[in-house]
Amino acid sequence: MRAGDLASLARLISRIEHRNHETRTLIELLYPHTGKAQVWGITGPPGAGKSTCVDRIIVHLRAKGKKVAVVAVDPSSPFSGGAILGDRIRMQQHTGDNGVFIRSLGTRGRHGGLSHSTKEVVLALDAAQFDVILVETAGVGQTELDILKLAQTVMVLLVPESGDSIQVMKAGLMEIADVFAVNKSDRPEADKLVRELTQMVGLSPHDADSWMVPVCKTEAVRDVGMTELIASVEKHQEYLSKSGKRAEKAKAFLREEMIDILTEDLRRSIEAILATSGGVEVLDRLLKKEIAPYEAAKLISGSSG
Amino acid sequence: MRAGDLASLARLISRIEHRNHETRTLIELLYPHTGKAQVWGITGPPGAGKSTCVDRIIVHLRAKGKKVAVVAVDPSSPFSGGAILGDRIRMQQHTGDNGVFIRSLGTRGRHGGLSHSTKEVVLALDAAQFDVILVETAGVGQTELDILKLAQTVMVLLVPESGDSIQVMKAGLMEIADVFAVNKSDRPEADKLVRELTQMVGLSPHDADSWMVPVCKTEAVRDVGMTELIASVEKHQEYLSKSGKRAEKAKAFLREEMIDILTEDLRRSIEAILATSGGVEVLDRLLKKEIAPYEAAKLISGSSG
């Protein structure tokens, strides 16, 4: 896999997604080889042109000789089947290029572990020596925000016509955006949105050492403004290194990984206990209101010790 | 609070949301008084008319003498401030009616515990003797689906013009819908959508004992079709009681509550450990790649014992 075989990488990632004891062995083996990749996040409302933009970024980065992986995460897509079909279509134009890898992660059959899986897929791609890993999500729900936390630089892609929905999201977007891109910027309302975003950036609390979030104008379809967008992201990456924020982000990533691993462990052992006769009895007593929830939880955690 | 004082109920719910040791005491005290309320879920894409529909349902249920509480959960709204403003506007028309209570829950400052909070707020409203608790969410992301699981009957509200976005969501919606409503059904494409949904329902696997998901036509703005929609939900509630599915749902709810309680406990103790010098040292060694993630997690869980 580390030698660049994409088929074996795809198999490896499926095994990580599958989440059993083997996942852990794989992560432990891969971990020492991680830490070199840049992780870029990209989000925005449906129809903002994220896929087109990601495809353009791939082409630009390939021209610079960089290896690029894309992890497209759609927490609201219930069909991983659909996601896989999408991968095939998107991969077609990069067929035969070992420097590009695209993978979608859906929520089918998952129990809230999507951000944990994504984190470990990113670790695998990092170990596979991709230079840039693009994490693409749709929207800014809780799960998406959790997922974007694992990117070092987050691009937020907006379009003039998103109008009202953007109004609502703006405050949330300000918290996560390192770079704004106003896509489809040939449309009439584009300049207004650029002005609004620039103002918003200026008004947000910052000091001399803060990163000033740039607002780029792009037309991904016609490949306009992509060089500037990529340059902005690269500038943010330099900022992270110089300011010491890169190490901070790496620590926060690992801290969350610890919490995820231990929570996943616990969830499994609780589910196991709830399936035993003792666990069933506790649930029955709870249902009959002989005991209350936190009392019942204590009984269950007692039987785990 | 149980006597129907809405101001003390609002304070109680804030205390439950606050999530400290007191939350537990409150839930233990309230729990014996729960189990009577019907919990109805309602979801749909933005612009489907959920708020209007919920307001109509309130009016209809009030006319039948039922006490109604609404919990509006928006996982993608980063500002609880906005949510509260919304509550005020929505409550205005029910001012002075002690039989109506509306509360929004946002994600501001939360760590993935939104569905747990919502569950416990529903328990409090149940104990406060509301007959129907409406849980309203936007969209069908992972967090929304988790939240809807706590409703006994889920209404999915669609509109003809949602078109493509519905196509994508359909499969996911089929899994959660107990009742479909095609709102704004005066629009030209409404009948087409009704036909499509009815077909989809017919094609989904079912046997003689299965609930056949009805497809209602509504125009919430003009109060058209609301009686039929509410009758469909009530029919589903009867179905749950007769089929024994109500007890199954109650058990699943309590099972998830157990997992949530224990996971929240664990998260707190991990965060405490990570803040100690021992925890900081483990993170440092992990950052330096002297150890790997699962090995580090084992060290952390060792220090919790």
Q: What is the ipTM of this complex?
A: 0.83
Query: What local confidence, expressed as pLDDT, does residue A83 receive?
Result: 46
Residues with Cβ within 8 Å of A266's Cβ and at least 6 positions away in sequence, in order, are B262, B263, B266
Query: What local confidence, expressed as pLDDT, does residue B91 receive?
Result: 59
> Does residue A221 sit in helix, strand or coil?
helix
**Beta-strand pair B179-182/B215-217:** parallel
Tell me the mean pLDDT in the region B161-179: 68
**Lowest mean pLDDT across A63-77, A250-264, B98-112, B133-147:** B98-112
Residue A64 Cα, gap to closest chain B Cα (Å)? 29
Residue A35 CA to residue A31 CA, distance in Å, equals: 8
CA dihedral A205, A207, A209, A211 (to 10 degrees): 30
**10-residue stretch averages of pLDDT, chain A, 305 residues long:** 77 83 90 95 84 93 96 62 50 77 71 77 94 86 77 92 57 82 91 87 80 95 96 98 92 90 89 93 95 95 68
Residue A227 Cα, gap to closest chain B Cα (Å)? 31
pLDDT tens for residues B52-90? 999 999 999 999 999 999 998 876 554 333 444 455 566
User: Which residue, chain included where needed, has tokens 């020492």?
Assistant: A32
Q: Delineate the domains of chain A, giving CATH numbers in brackets.
A: 6-243 (3.40.50.300), 260-304 (no CATH)
CB contact under 8 Å between B293 and A141, yes or no, is no
Residue B210 CA to residue B230 CA, distance in Å, equals: 20
Query: Cβ distance A61 to A131 under 8 Å?
Result: yes
Residue B173 CA to residue B157 CA, distance in Å, equals: 10
Residue B149 Cα, gap to closest chain A Cα (Å)? 12
- Asked if the model's pLDDT at residue B20 lies above 90, the reply is no
> Does residue B262 sit in helix, strand or coil?
helix
> Does residue A40 sit in helix, strand or coil?
strand
**Beta-strand pair B68-73/B38-43:** unpaired
Chain A partners within 8 Å of B270 (Cβ): 258-259, 262-263
b/e burial code for range A88-109 (CB count within 10 A of at least 16 → b): eebbeebeeeebbbbbbbbbee
- Asked if the model's pLDDT at residue B304 lies above 70, the reply is no
Which residue in chain B is spatially nearest to A257 when comparing CA positions?
Answer: B293
Band of residue B267 on the pLDDT scale cut at 50, 70, 90: confident
Residue B151 CA to residue B125 CA, distance in Å, equals: 13
Transcribe B188-216 into DSSP letters.
TTHHHHHHHHHHHHHHS---TTS----EE
Query: What local confidence, expressed as pLDDT, does residue B149 receive?
Result: 85
Residue A131 CA to residue A37 CA, distance in Å, equals: 5
CB contact under 8 Å between A171 and B274, yes or no, is no
What percent of chain B clears pLDDT 70, i.e. is strictly above it?
84
**Lowest mean pLDDT across A223-237, B149-163, B209-223:** B149-163
Query: What local confidence, expressed as pLDDT, does residue B283 receive?
Result: 95
More confident residue, B192 or A235: A235
Q: Which two tokens stand for residue B175?
A: 């899994």
Which residue in chain B is spatially nearest to A83 when comparing CA positions?
Answer: B168
CB contact under 8 Å between B141 and A76, yes or no, is yes
- Asked if the model's pLDDT at residue B160 lies above 90, the reply is no
Residue A295 CA to residue B215 CA, distance in Å, equals: 42
Query: What local confidence, expressed as pLDDT, does residue B79 receive?
Result: 36
Residue in B46, B247, B270 nearest the CB of A258: B270
Residue B227 Cα, gap to closest chain A Cα (Å)? 31
Query: What local confidence, expressed as pLDDT, does residue B78 receive?
Result: 43
CB contact under 8 Å between B258 and A270, yes or no, is yes
Query: What local confidence, expressed as pLDDT, does residue A240 receive?
Result: 96
Burial group, residue B79, by CB count within 10 angstroms (0-12, 13-18, 19+): middle
Paired strand residues for A102: A70
CB contact under 8 Å between A172 and B267, yes or no, is no
Residue A261 Cα, gap to closest chain B Cα (Å)? 7
Band of residue B268 on the pLDDT scale cut at 50, 70, 90: confident
Query: What local confidence, expressed as pLDDT, does residue B139 receive?
Result: 65
Residue in A27, A76, A292 nearest the CB of B292: A27
Tell me the mean pLDDT in the region B219-247: 96
* Chain B 122-151, residues with CB within 8 Å of chain A CB atoms: 139-144, 146
CB contact under 8 Å between A258 and B250, yes or no, is no
Mutant choice from B156, B259, B282 vs A, greatest count of A C-beta within 10 A: B259
Query: What local confidence, expressed as pLDDT, does residue B107 receive?
Result: 60
Tell me the mean pLDDT in the region B17-24: 81
**Lowest mean pLDDT across B16-25, B130-139, B159-168:** B159-168
Query: Cβ distance B94 to B67 under 8 Å?
Result: no
Which residue in chain B is spatially nearest to A167 when comparing CA positions?
Answer: B77
Q: Which two tokens stand for residue B151?
A: 């409703």
